[in-house]
Chains A and B, each alone.
Chain A
Amino acid sequence: MNPTLVRLLALIKKELQVVIGDKQSLRLLIAPVILQLAIFPFAATLEVKNNTIFVLDRDGGPVATELIERLAHTRAFDQVRRLRGEADAREVIDRQDALLVLHIGPHFSERALAGKPEPVQAILDGRRSNSGQIALSYVQSILSGIPVGSALDPSVVPVVVRHWYNPNLDYFRFILPSLVAMIATFSALIVTAMSVAREREQGTLDQLLVSPLVPWMLFIGKATPALIVAIIQTTIILVGSVFGYGVEFRGSLLSLYLCLVPYVFALAGVGLFISTVCSTQQQAFLGVFLCLMPFILLSGFVTPVDNMPELLQKLTWANPVRHFIAIAKGIYLKGSLLSDFRDNLIALGCIGTVTISVSLALFQRRLS
């Protein structure tokens, strides 16, 4: 066999031993994946459920009763409670018992029957503004379902809304592909960034440097274990989400795994860069975190990229996680093709190339 290849394989084997060699490390790579797979898809929801809605009914007439009756039958509110006065409203909102308080005026039914309905007042807890607005839209749709006066409003235009890829807008469908990206990110970045710093701290870096391995081979030696870990973790999540959660995988499995290569390449570049500017493991880990947090927060995982200011949206092109989340979501949920992600793949390649060149340059300068 080619001696270079033998050396490379030996290096990869050595690196793998460090990452998954002992039981504690292996457990630490696998257990969190399973735990996150079990908990996060349930947790990550922006739906509004199981809330108590409080109603201050000053009217007591038939239309108000009808409205309250209908509210009680929605998923968002499992309980409808009545309030006696304005002071109570203050109390339940302050204590976060209520997300929403509806105030129905004294002549509500009378006016509604006369065809001149007066508005229902809704007070919501601004601390939970997003949930409050979602709850409000439920109330709004209930209100518009109640006929005013005698006949249905003729101006109602039949609009049919269809949500492709996720007809019921289930959040776990949305979160599972992102989880694939997230978990691969953590380990790939940590594995590469910590490994150089650890060698330096333990003094083994010098030994590596006097070995006949050239810098780019060292890089491949450090990046391959990260890729292997990422593939294992991705597979666990994919198996769990297809068989455990029953979310159909619409695209090509091969494409997704292929995309992991440029992704890990980009991450390993970032990891390598961190480890060349840090001198201890502690610094390296904190450096990983300093990069990881903005990467995750600005990736579209927590809130959509589209909601960010324009300038920031452009900056996120330098964020590898953003690209891979788009890819994972697209291939998994929408059956997207590789060609849909040409720009993303190019961006990943650029991120990897730039970070690796810079870190190799820094590395060589330090050596001489």
Chain B
Amino acid sequence: MNDPRRLFALIEKETLQIVRDPSTLLISLLFPVVLMLVFGAGISLDSSVVRLGVLNQDGSPASVRLVDTFRNTPGFRLYDGRSVEELGDRLRAGRIQGFVVIRSDLGRRAATGPTSGPMIQVITDGAEPNGANFVAAYAQGATAVWAAQEQARRGASPAALRGSFSLETRAWFNPSTKSRNSLLPGSVTIIMTVVGALLTALVVAREWERGTMEALLAAGISRVELVVSKLVPYFVLGLLAFTICIAMTHLLFEVPLRGSLLTLYFVGAAFLCSALGTGLLISTLLRTQYNAAQVALNVAFLPGLMLSGFVFEIRSMPLPIQAVSAIIPARYFVTAMQTVAQAGDVWSVLSRSLFGLTLAAVGFLGLTLLNTKRRLE
């Protein structure tokens, strides 16, 4: 029953189909390039410039020095406001990310020393929580610098300048703590999901739509042969896309690669199988391109973006959502990619990921086989 020549012929047919429709080839190779550029240049959690409004209600020399401190702190672009209302309007319109109000008694109280009650108010745009945190932290930092300078100016004794507890930080694997270094290896997941799941979902759904799938099955080809013949060409295509991603991450964006290439490809191949399996299953179940496209978007791409831990921290999610994320292959791939790129071949992490990926691949491909049969009977 299983004639290897027939299998090769089938694979050849699939490959020819890909090569003859240049759009498939173009998309699967152009896509990674465009997306890597977008991810590499556009995705960052590191705030670069904060647009901050300042309202100095005081005008004393001390308050002017405070404004200067803000102005001289790298990372701020200051806007001088005229009133709280005006700054509030700007905040609402999104033209500034926060503003600082210096109360009118700052100069007097700074001269007399310790005080209670607010002298400086920092208002942030809570609609952007990550940005709001940055604004608050930056503003407090700048204020602390100013406070220390004011004390030195008053000629405070060294005892009064007594240090507070400080932290000395070392970030392993990513000493500069650039978010790009962890986001880029994770973003490969999104690209591979698109190339793997979306492309196959569409291609196979088209065969069902046109009736060529039934024709193949009626010709006495076994289900395994059919699935394998669909899998192999797209697997090769996926690996090509993967290579483009890796090359761009490593060579263009200079994200280190601490693990071995072999491990990287091993993990990539495992994820690719699970993504191809997802795509095949969707198309087998739905059989129309339009619906397959919609489902692939919702089942493969969006969870890959939201629940994979690529940007959003899985541990911070409520437990039921964490449970949902456990059945998403992308999650294991993100962990594995980040580890291989930045930490190296840490097998205690990788074995867990590989297990999850293999399980997903076997599960999806198995379900595809089952459903191919049932549909025909």
Contact = CB atoms under 8 A, between A and B. Distances in A.
Nearest to A125: B172
B343 A24 contact: no
Given A45-B317, A340-B92, A125 B306 contact: no
A367 interface: no
Contacts of A161: 121-124, 136, 139-140
Contacts of A341: 93
A38 B136 CA distance: 31
B318 A42 contact: yes
Interface in B32-91: 34-35, 38-39, 41-51, 88, 91
A239 interface: no
Interface stretch (B4-12, B175-183, B216-224, B366-374): B175-183
Interface string B134-174: 00110110011011100100000001111111111111111
Interface in B196-218: 198-199, 202-203, 206
Nearest to A174: B129
B126 A164 contact: yes
A139 B291 contact: no
Interface stretch (A46-54, A207-215, A216-224, A264-272): A46-54
A136 B168 CA distance: 10
Contact of A158 (B117, B190, B343): B117
B162 A163 contact: no
A125 B167 contact: no
Interface in A13-32: 24-25, 28-29, 32
Interface stretch (B108-116, B242-250, B271-279): B108-116
Interface in A138-175: 139-140, 143-144, 146, 148-149, 153-167, 169-171, 173-174
A140 B194 CA distance: 41
B362 to A, nearest CB: 25
Best-surrounded residue of B44, B92, B133 (most CB of chain A within 10 A): B92
B343 A127 contact: yes
Contacts of B119: 157-159
Nearest to A336: B92
Contacts of A25: 290-291
Contacts of B178: 129
B167 A136 contact: yes
A160 B118 contact: yes
A341 B94 CA distance: 9
Given A297-B43, A336-B92, A42 B129 contact: no
12 contacts: A24-B291, A32-B298, A121-B170, A124-B172, A127-B342, A128-B338, A133-B177, A136-B169, A158-B117, A162-B121, A190-B297, A307-B48
Interface of A: 24-25, 28-29, 32, 35-36, 39-40, 42-51, 93-96, 112, 115-117, 119-134, 136-137, 139-140, 143-144, 146, 148-149, 153-167, 169-171, 173-174, 177, 186, 190, 194, 198, 278, 280-283, 285-286, 289-290, 293-294, 296-298, 302-304, 306-309, 312, 326, 329-330, 333-336, 340-341
